[in-house]
Structure 1
Amino acid sequence: MTFSPFRIGVSDEVLADLRARLAQTRFTTRSGDQPWQAGADPDYLRDLVSYWIDGFDWRAQEADLNALPHRQAQIGGRRLHFLHVPGTRPADAPAPPPLILSHGWPSSFVEMLPLVDRLTNPAQYGEDPADAFDVVVPSLPGFLYSELPNGPLTRAAMARTLHALMTDVLGYQRYGAFGGDIGGVVTGWLGALYPEQVAGIHMIHPPFPASFDSHPLSPAEQAYLDAEAAYDETDGGYSAIMGTRPDTIAAALHDSPAGLAAWLVDKYRDWTDNRGDLERSIDRDTLLTTITLYWATGTIGSSFRQYVDFGHNGPRPAITVPAAFTVSTEPSHANFPRDIAERACTDIRHWSEPGRGGHFMPLEQPDLLAGELRQFFTSLRPR
């Protein structure tokens, strides 16, 4: 398989239409007494839309994105977009090992960009230049510039696509994998399906086992599962509608950029480690870059497909490759017991609970996470 260069290019017509739609936004009133009590706060949304119209410079963001080496490949007859950034190492050092970084929902390849320089050119950050990696950052199938597969979008199907990218397209014989959220689940599947080629996996959201039947739940496991179920009662509405009525909500979000922003920003605020202020964790230019990419590509609906097709997922085999976890501090992962991850992974080498950084940790805590990735994957080098 081969790949070709790719450039992001949003037409003037699309941008003009976007601004016109934003200018015509009809804002709702707040349902509760407190901001964000009932979802995306109308006052915050109004301010964000105003900045999107008059302050946000998409062309500058687009130029910065296009300074990176974007590529596209045909895998299974479908286009996959990815970044491929070679590592910078001393001439006498071995070739940099490859590492694939996979995003989740409602995210994009943009989430991983703060990690790229830190991992490909560690000398710029005061780290050992011999610890550089070749970094690959895909857009998962159905997101932005990557097409959906012909069949159901299962976690295993995504893993097969990414493995083909790393081995058949890029020619790597062995590689490491990192991910969060859906990308983390896919990372777990890579380790389970390809233990001979996957050197190790690293996630910020530890995996559940295919079954809890092997032995009784510990008190810590039961307490966590109960807390997660209680949290889902307040947070799970988004996934319920995306999994059962995706075309209904997609019609609204595909037509209204302010609605799209509200849908995404609600989760960015809830899931980041922000102490009540979203932009403490992620600045608005980064937020609007991802939202604009969703808008310009018209892929919010296709990003729902992995929710729609969830029932097609089979049980994942045990993960036997070396595994590391830097656990997110978001509410759904508070007090996540290592016992659960040990049911899914037979060789956990590193477990860290840093107490900072949420669902989008590569954006929120890039120095912390790059250090954890570097420490784990360099430990797997042959001695």
Structure 2
Amino acid sequence: MHKSTDSRPATDSRPADIAQVADSVQGFASHIPETELDDLRTRLQSARLPEPETVVRPKPDPRRWDQGVPLDDLTELVDYWRTDYSWRDFEDRLNGVGQFRTDIDGLSIHFLHRRSSRTDATPLILTHGWPGSIAEYIDVIDELAEPTDPTAPAFHCVVPSLPGFGFSDRPSVTGWSTDRIAEAWVTLMGRLGYDRFAAFGGDWGGVITTILGGRFPDHLIGIHTTYAPGVPGGSLEELTEDERAWALDAEDFWTHRAAYAHQQATRPQTIGYALVDSPVGQLAWILDKFAEWTDTEDSPFETISRDRLLDNVSLYWLMRTGASSARIYFESHDSLDPDLRVDVPTAITMYPHDIEKYPRALSEHHYRNIVRWRAAERGGHFPSLEMPDEFVDDLRAGLSAILAGNR
């Protein structure tokens, strides 16, 4: 499925000394065998599809998705995946950025490492969630490392694949909770020579980032998150009308729109059979969330390219991680310590179409040193894909506030 090497990929033109990290870190180049891509195309060609949904509405209308992914939308995307999409383009991009693997606690962890040429650059780890992957950051990592504006802050970017995701190993035993992953990230950054670093994340990445800030303050310069939950059952009496609407929407999400999470938290193996056996099933499972969680009127492709979404889905399919990625819910669903306190400088951004938005008044229970809090005017659950330029600007502003808080 892939190969590992003892040096940087040949497509990486940066100086060799930049690649010299700890002996326990090995360079990695991905190359999926052509037979795997042929098998994918064959399965797409022979896929059995159900009849159309019974909710029939003209485009554009988000209610077209009330029963899930519409048949016409899926059929069109399956055809594109089979005939026009290029996995090799994405693979070349990953190899060009710089890929590595290192063994931590018995598991080989894959990560991108994009160092900046700037001597004043700050180490930054960016963590994805589900149904995302390292593909979420592929369009922003260069600008973060080498900003076009020389006055903008620069970052040494580390983007790991969560255990059971992408090119990281799939755990064979239980125990890889978000707390254990956060601890592994501290080990990873230390091996790269980054004893103190900043962290960013959303979704599960936001949970892990929060744990980093709360449990490992000696290693964290600060954190920036798009997921900043308050205490379950917290009082809404002191909130404004808009803040109360946010809190109630988060409650409604978990009550009426989170069947996927309950399935993956209770029976990840069962859904895993379908996801690992059927590329169309894997595509539909992920596309449904991209459609619902993006700031769009009808389709996620109003803001995210088909190729980038298929990069993400292909990574799940080709690495057979439908079941293993679902197990993060089994390991950590509703497990964030309600008494965890984050005292390091914290930046929080709430995007209007994200699935869980919490008012600052509720978030302050966990986050005790908020140096920047922003409610964005647009954007959803995948801001780095939906609006990469605005995402970079916001992340820089948050991290700049964090850095200022350390002076």
Q: Give the TM-score taking structure 2 as reference length.
A: 0.86
Structure with the higher helix share, 1 or 2: 1
Aligned partner of 1:80: which letter?
Answer: I
Number of residue pairs matched by the alignment: 372
Q: How far apart, CA to CA, are the structure 1 residues paired with 2:233 and 2:56?
A: 41
Q: How far apart, CA to CA, are the structure 2 residues paired with 1:337 and 1:216?
A: 10
Q: Is the 8 A contact 2:43 2:278 kept in 1?
A: yes
Aligned partner of 1:84: which letter?
Answer: H
For 1:17-65, what per-residue CA distance to the aligned partner results, in whole angstroms no more than 9, with x for missing partners?
A: 1111100112222132333120011110000000111111222222222
Match of 2:304 among 282, 303, 311: 282
Q: Secondary structure at the match of 2:26?
A: strand
Q: How far apart, CA to CA, are the structure 1 residues paired with 2:230 and 2:167?
A: 30
Q: Does 1:105 align with 2:134?
A: no
Unpaired runs of 5+ in structure 2? 1-21, 58-63
For 1:204-262, what per-residue CA distance to the aligned partner results, in whole angstroms no more than 9, with x for missing partners?
A: 122334x667x785345665443322233431111111111212211111111011100
Aligned partner of 2:238: which letter?
Answer: S
Aligned partner of 1:218: which letter?
Answer: E
Q: Is the 8 A contact 2:100 2:110 kept in 1?
A: yes
Q: Does 1:54 align with 2:79?
A: no
Report which stretch shifted further, 78-87 or 32-41: 32-41
Match of 2:330 in 1: 308
Q: Is the 8 A contact 1:153 1:305 kept in 2?
A: no
Runs of 4+ in 1 over 6 A off after TM superposition: none
Unpaired runs of 5+ in structure 1? none
Shift of 1:147: 2.1
- What is the identity percentage for the equivalent residue pairs of Structure 1 and Structure 2? 36
Q: How far apart, CA to CA, are the structure 2 residues paired with 1:217 and 1:112?
A: 38
Match of 1:348 among 370, 380, 389: 370
Q: How far apart, CA to CA, are the structure 1 residues paired with 2:256 and 2:340?
A: 31
Q: Is the 8 A contact 2:170 2:321 kept in 1?
A: no
Cα 1:312–1:185 shift into 2, 3 Å: closer
1:367-378 correspondence to structure 2 within 5 Å: 367-378=389-400
Match of 2:17 in 1: none
Shift of 1:148: 4.2
Q: Does 1:122 align with 2:147?
A: yes
Match of 2:5 in 1: none
For 1:267-325, what per-residue CA distance to the aligned partner results, in whole angstroms no more than 9, with x for missing partners?
A: 01100112212111211000111111111100111111111123693625201111001
Report which stretch shifted further, 140-149 or 77-86: 140-149
Q: Is the 8 A contact 2:201 2:224 kept in 1?
A: yes
Match of 1:323 among 333, 346, 352: 346
Match of 2:72 among 43, 47, 66: 43
Match of 1:96 in 2: 121
Cα 1:311–1:206 shift into 2, 3 Å: closer
Match of 2:186 in 1: 163
Q: What's the RMSD between the two structures over aligned residues?
A: 2.0
Aligned partner of 2:112: which letter?
Answer: L
Q: How far apart, CA to CA, are the structure 1 residues paired with 2:155 and 2:332?
A: 33
Match of 1:359 in 2: 381
Match of 2:110 among 51, 67, 81: 81
1:122-141 correspondence to structure 2 within 5 Å: 122-123=147-148, 127-128=149-150, 131-141=153-163
Q: How far apart, CA to CA, are the structure 2 residues paired with 1:63 and 1:275?
A: 33
Q: Is the 8 A contact 1:188 1:207 kept in 2?
A: no
Cα 1:111–1:314 shift into 2, 3 Å: closer
For 1:70-103, what per-residue CA distance to the aligned partner results, in whole angstroms no more than 9, with x for missing partners?
A: 00000112100001111122xxxx4411001110
